[in-house]
Amino acid sequence: MAQKVFNYKGKGLDELRLMSIPEFAKLVPSRQRRSLLRGFNPSQKKLLERLRKKKEIETHCRSMIIIPEMLEKTIKVYDGRHFVAVIILPDMLGHTLGEFALTRKPVRHSAPGIGATKSSAAMSVK
């Protein structure tokens, strides 16, 4: 059985790595394309410079769009409380860093608290 080769909009990983930002912008959806063609803001430029020097960095820049240059690097993204390690995979291209560092925990319901309501008193206490 042959191993599946990754393609993004018909382009292989090697082709994507050689592309410039405007060429890559033509492949992504409109929101990301607009952001990439406007250019990076100073914090995003600084992030890219540091990423070129190191393989693992920390950042608060959650709005940065994942570009092919970032592939196979570890970026610790701030979620409001601590840094969440995100390993950049090919499937993440065109998404933002913030999508992979969730800011809210899923709700976990348990028994009602003490004195919550009269109806909660009818529940069994375990």
Kindly give the confidence (pLDDT) of every residue in the chain, 126 residues in length, as a single tens digit, with 9 standing for 90 and above.
778 888 888 888 889 899 999 999 999 999 999 999 999 999 999 999 999 999 899 999 999 999 999 999 999 999 999 999 999 999 999 999 999 999 998 888 887 777 777 665 566 655
Query: Within 13 Å, how many C-alpha atoms sit on residue 87's CB side?
Result: 2
Residue 7 domain flag: no
Structure tokens at 88: 């950049």
Residue 1 domain flag: no
Residue 3 domain flag: no
Residue 52 domain flag: yes
pTM: 0.80
Q: Domain limits at 53?
A: 13-104
CATH number of residue 69's parent domain: 3.30.860.10
Residue 122 domain flag: no
Q: How many domains, in total, are found in the chain?
A: 1
Per-residue pLDDT, 108: 87
Residue 82 domain flag: yes
Residue 112 domain flag: no
Per-residue pLDDT, 6: 84
